[in-house]
Amino acid sequence: MTTTPTTPWVFLKGHGTENDFVILPDPDNALDLPPHVVAALCDRRAGIGGDGVLHVVRSAAHPEARAMAGEAEWFMDYRNGDGSVAEMCGNGVRVFARYLQHAGHTGAGDLAVATRAGVKHVHLAKDGDVTVRMGRAVLPPEQVQVTVGGRGWPAYNVNMGNPHAVAFVEDLTHAGDLLGTPGYAPAAVYPDGVNIEFVADRGPRHVAMRVHERGSGETRSCGTGACAVAVAAARRDGADPAVTGLPATYTVDLPGGRLVITEQPDGEIEMTGPAVLVGEGRIAAEWLESSFG
Output the pLDDT for position 150. 83
* Residues annotated in a binding site for substrate: 19, 80, 90-91, 162, 195, 213-214, 223-224
- Among candidate residues 56, 89, 209, 283, the one labeled active-site is 89
Name the residue type at position 139: L
List per-residue pLDDT tens for the chain, 293 residues long: 456 776 899 999 999 999 999 999 999 999 999 999 999 999 999 999 999 999 999 999 999 999 999 999 999 999 999 999 988 899 999 999 999 999 999 999 999 999 999 999 999 998 789 999 999 999 999 999 999 888 899 999 999 989 999 999 999 987 776 556 789 999 999 999 999 999 999 999 999 999 998 888 888 999 999 999 999 999 999 999 999 999 999 999 999 999 999 999 999 999 999 999 999 999 999 999 999 87
* pLDDT value of position 1: 46
pLDDT at 149: 82
Report pLDDT for 7.
84
Q: What is the pTM of this model?
A: 0.90
Please confirm, yes or no, whether 222 is among the known catalytic residues. Answer: yes
Q: Which of 165, 211, 231 is nearest to 18 (CA)?
A: 211
**What phi, psi does 173 have (nearest 5°)?**
-65, -20
**Residue 42 appears among annotated catalytic residues:** no
Residues composing the chain: 293
pLDDT score recorded for residue 2: 58
State the Cα–Cα distance between residues 231 and 223, nearest whole angstrom. 13
For residues 121 and 109, the answer to whether their CB atoms sit within 8 Å is no
- What is the structure's pLDDT at 3? 65
Q: Is 38 helix (H, G, I), strand (E, B) or coil?
A: helix
> Could you tell me which residues are annotated as the binding site?
19, 80, 90-91, 162, 195, 213-214, 223-224
pLDDT at 55: 98
- Which entry of 222, 227, 233, 269 is annotated as an active-site residue? 222
Percentage helix, strand, coil for the chain under 3-state DSSP, each rounded to 5: 20, 40, 40
Domains of the chain, earliest start first: 9-129+276-292 (3.10.310.10), 144-272 (3.10.310.10)
